[in-house]
Amino acid sequence: MGLMEGKTALVFGLANDKSIAWGITQAFHREGAKIGISYAGEMLEKRVRPLAAEVGADFVEQCDVSSDEQIAAVAEKAKKHFGQVDVIVHSIGFANKDELQGNFYDTSRAGFHLAMDISVFSFVALAKAFQPIMRRGGALLTLTYYGSVKVAPNYNMMGVAKAALEASTRYLARDFGPQGIRVNAISAGPVRTLAAMGVSGFRDMHRNFAEMAPMRENITIEDCGNAAVYLCSDMSAHVTGEIHYVDSGFNVMAMPEPDQFKDKE
């Protein structure tokens, strides 16, 4: 029997078959969950519909999370379609391209607001919108990155947004605890997704990461999917407010291996 049998999961942030959201959706499907999908805009629909069909999802709804109306609408539709839901996955992040290079202090007021709105507030807003239809024993999950804790050159505004997202995860854990709903985040190592490939210098970063990580390997969307099954199923009952690293151990290293310094000489 699957670990998510009898659970309904709604996944936000599916763009294509490279998305972390797709790794999570496939793992949930494998474990017997009923799936609903939400995507950002019309441009993605032709990519997302066939993926939804692969996992037998008949709830496929557009939702731009910068709109309160669209969030309210998708929650209303989910209530009509499913009645109650068990799991919400938030796999969404966005900053203007100019905020992801150069000095952090060059971040504009509007750019700061946009990144915080799409990458952080949307998780809080989804939590609130779905709270009335979430079942006891359910879970909320978001995706973060280590640039929230330590400085990752050029991650800049997104690092600050991820720090706020991780703090939001802890505050939401407190809010939802009494309802028996857990709130956690996966902090993933670099993955070659649509969002990541839009970042200059990502290829080199992706390679250097694998060289520095204890396991000497990059991570996959399947790794994220399996960790998400743990965090959103009863396997992690009483685990809440956690930032769970899926990063080949990268975050435990204080510096590269000595031989990696020598290479540069």
- Cα distances (Å, whole numbers) of residue 9 to 37, 38, 138, 150, 195: 9, 11, 9, 32, 23
Out of 25, 26, 91, 156, point to the residue binding ligand NAD (CB under 6 A).
91
Q: Is residue 118 within the footprint of ligand NAD (CB under 6 A)?
A: yes
CA-nearest of 259, 167, 263, 250 to 212 is 250
Contacted entry of ligand 0WE, ligand NAD, none for residue 25, CB cut-off 5 to 8 Å set by kind: none
Q: Is residue 60 within the footprint of ligand 0WE (CB under 6 A)?
A: no
Q: Is residue 210 within the footprint of ligand 0WE (CB under 6 A)?
A: no
Q: How far apart are CA 21 and CA 191, in angstroms?
A: 12
**Smallest distance from ligand NAD to CB 198, Å:** 8
Q: How far apart are CA 82 and CA 153, in angstroms?
A: 43
Contacting range for ligand NAD; rule: CB under 6 A; set: 15-23, 28-36, 50-58, 237-245: 15-23
**Smallest distance from ligand NAD to CB 60, Å:** 13
- The string of DSSP letters for 75-113 reads HHHHHHHHSSEEEEEE------GGGGSS-GGG--HHHHH
**Smallest distance from ligand NAD to CB 66, Å:** 5
What number of other Cβ atoms are within 10 A of residue 43's Cβ? 9
Active site residues: 145, 155
Residue 186's beta-bridge partner residues? Answer: 143, 244
For residues 108 and 133, the answer to whether their CB atoms sit within 8 Å is no
Q: Is residue 155 within the footprint of ligand 0WE (CB under 6 A)?
A: yes
Q: Is residue 10 within the footprint of ligand NAD (CB under 6 A)?
A: no
Give me 84's structure tokens: 């109650």
Q: Is residue 66 within the footprint of ligand NAD (CB under 6 A)?
A: yes
Residues lying near ligand NAD in the complex (CB under 6 A) = 13-15, 19-21, 40, 44, 64-66, 91-94, 118, 143-145, 188, 190-191, 193-196
Residues lying near ligand 0WE in the complex (CB under 6 A) = 93-95, 97, 100, 145, 152, 154-155, 158, 190, 195-196, 198-199, 205
